[in-house]
Chains A and B, each alone.
Chain A
Amino acid sequence: MDWVIDMSAIEHSGKHAGSHIRGNPRVFTYVVLIVCCCYFLLPVWWLVVASTKTNGGLFNGSHGSMWFDSTMAFWDNIKQLGTYQDGVYWRWIANSLLYALVGGFGATTVSVMAGYGFAKYRFRGKKTYFNIILGALMIPATALVIPTFLLMSDINMTDTYWAVLLPLMLNPFGVYLMRIYCSESLPDEMIEAARVDGSGEFRTFFQVSLPIMTPAITTVFLLSIVGAWNNFFLPSVVLTNPNLFPITVGLSQWQTRSTAGSASEQIWNLLTSGSLISVIPMVLAFIFLQRYWVGGLAAGSVKA
């Protein structure tokens, strides 16, 4: 908001001579943004450049690490990704998509329903249950990985898709966010009105409440997808069969393969090109979902 006011101030004051000092905040903003941009994009640029190099080129190429080598090996790397270890790379990408979509969808469903319930219904032990969720929010997920592994092992579920999917479905932060959003943006009166009009609880939920919750749902969905896509530690512990790996665990296994001592294989080129490709789905997810997300949140804030 401040920024908008400054803009108009600049336009007005521009007519008077010698008042350019007022333009400085704008320059400053640009400088900060450009610096931030470089800071965040530099590693991405490196990744783009590195994905076009051969293994030797990565270490011994011409033009340094921030520019392209004389031999362009991008397509060659992609081809190798399709053949190395029988093309397991694409299987990992598919697995990651599965974990992200199913896990994200499941987490969102659970969060929306639980958050709505916490916000709109009164039941025994409501406060206690919500406090448990708050408590779960404070325990880092990493700390729960080994207990989760032991539980999964007890029910013979390690080394299955479920070992990764089930823990993903519980997202305490999502529940928390949905509860806050529901109590702030979803008027009790509206639900009352729907009930008076004879709508059942499910119909009220699906046809009255859900549309209003869309922005928050998108947010939770996006966060869950990103969380599931970047999920590393849990799958690395509960999975042994490489055919079930998500891309994060697969790439990390390739990395240790390249650095580990005894008779290692050098596949740095596959790591860089593989990492680049693994970033693309998340970039797409942000581009397509951000309009709902940002637009929706703003709409919510105006109404509130």
Chain B
Amino acid sequence: MMLKSKKIFAVLAAVAASLSLAACGGSNASDTATANSDKHANDNASCTNKVVHADAQKVTVWAWYPGFEKIVDHFNNSHSDVQVCWNNGGQGGAEYTRFQNTIKAGKGAPDIIQLEYEAMPQFIAGQQKYLVDLGKYGMNSYKADYTDGAWNSVTFGSSSSVYAVPVDAGPFVMYVNQEVFDKYQVKVPTTWAEFEQAGKDLQAKGYTGKLTNWQTDGTAVNIALFAQKGAQVYKYSASDPTKVGIDFDQQGVKDVLSYWQKLSKEGLIDTADQSSTDTMKKFGAGDYATYVQASWFMGYYVKGAYKTAADSPFKIYEAPKWDDSTPDVNQGGSAFAVTYQAKDTKAAAEVARELYGDDYAQKSGVSDGGLFPTWKKLLSSTEFINQTYPYLGDQKANEVIAPVAKGWAGDQFLPFQTYAYDAQQKSFASIVKSGTSVDSGVSKLTSTLQDYAKQQGFTVESVK
């Protein structure tokens, strides 16, 4: 018996060893993104879309934008020398994991990949850069086409390097349940002080719902809320990729968290997960008077929660401000990056820029995809500003949103943003929901993340 189990352990050990070998095998696959120029490597790639010009060179793309098939068809119809071969590589985290796997394997990555702004640092951190510097392919001459915030989000503080082509963004606004405010005759708040007062007034006049929901899992929302108070919590620059800045221990962060802690104690707000269907149900049932969120929230909740557009009582207002100097902020958005595995780097760089680079594609992105553009030309067009939204009572919502998009300066994120979000979420939930001390909470969070950064081999610097 002893002998038998020993043998089994030996076998297990051997298997485990071969596993770890396999896992290590791929990790030294690349150093820095280099240029390739094989025009025929993608000839046999399998695509979700139809390729119009079968003989032309193919460029592979992973993207999950809604309505992206139209963009692909438009591109392939209008180009005869190059064709897009598109697949949906998964959405958000699922796609990043898949990309990591192909990095380990040293092959299998697409030429062009859709990445959220906050996910990009993890692929350009340290010595290994998996995203191509598009600055070397003339991207800098298109700087003026994009909003400052979007441009800063793909350049990481560099004046010459560009790591992706901006596509969409999520200007931070306030969704207001107009029926509730009309019924109880309460003025829609424009400052955070008025916001709190509106909650109290609504409650006093008999509204049984909550003023809003502070989302326990609303990680990026908090970054936007801090940015409103001028508090930058993360710092990361591609030109100095071994250094990161992390600091929650600053007055702006403390002010924001204390504010929400107070609202929660006063029973004015709900503290439920954003990504639960239960929250969406409450939203549809009129249990929230407002929702302070990115503009894309419309596609996410408003359309989901109501049977018809006419049922929706929501309208978009500017997000509440602290004072006149409160900046416009943003939550979310994504861009097209070119991977180090791109078969023909130069062609991929051009396609990445051209995919959403004309009027048709930009308009389709807005009307078929529900994206909020970062392309200045569209942002300023009268057609865009005058567009009405049925789910918002035919409001010309872009009148409110477009200025926010233009005012946004850009945010910075960490090369281990997922880990940071997890830590952030735990800390803030205990502060706002359970009433843990703000001071000790933020200092503990800061040291936790700084320690993790050091473990990962980064040098921690000041965020200023």
Contacts and interface: CB of A to CB of B under 8 A. Distances in A.
Given A154-B105, A261-B296, A261-B332, A136 B92 contact: no
Contacts of B303: 266
Interface string A235-274: 0110011110000000001001111111111101000000
Contacts, number: 149
Contact of B87 (A132, A147, A151, A242): A242
A203 to B, nearest CB: 35
Contact of A59 (B94, B107, B170, B305): B305
A135 interface: yes
Given A241-B46, A241-B87, 5 more contacts: A60-B285, A71-B307, A127-B7, A237-B101, A263-B296
Ranked nearest first, the 3 interchain pairs of A and B with the lowest CB-CB distance are: A56-B307, A263-B370, A153-B105
A256 B108 CA distance: 22
Contacts of B69: 85
Given A60-B281, A237-B98, A264 B89 contact: no
Interface stretch (B59-67, B151-159, B434-442): B59-67
Residues of A contacting B: mostly: helix
B105 A60 contact: no
Contact of A240 (B98, B104, B275): B98
Interface in A125-144: 127-128, 131-132, 134-136, 138-139, 143-144
Contact of A262 (B105, B305, B334): B334
A265 B67 CA distance: 9
Interface in A149-165: 149-151, 153-154, 158-159
A151 B106 CA distance: 12
With a 10 A CB-CB cut-off, give which of A253, A257, A265 has the most chain B CB atoms: A265
B305 A60 contact: yes
A241 B296 contact: no
Interface in B254-306: 275, 277, 280-281, 284-285, 294, 296, 299-300, 303-306
Interface residues of A, number: 48
Interface string B55-93: 000000010111001000000000000000001111110
Contact of B91 (A56, A138, A257): A257
Interface of B: 4, 7-8, 11-12, 15, 18-19, 22-23, 25-26, 46-48, 62, 64-66, 69, 87-92, 94, 98, 101-102, 104-108, 116, 168, 170, 275, 277, 280-281, 284-285, 294, 296, 299-300, 303-308, 311, 332-334, 369-372
B66 A60 contact: no
A73 to B, nearest CB: 10
A136 B281 CA distance: 45
A158 B19 CA distance: 19
A242 B3 CA distance: 48
A231 interface: no
Contacts of B275: 259
Given A59-B277, A60-B281, A253-B91, A261 B305 contact: no
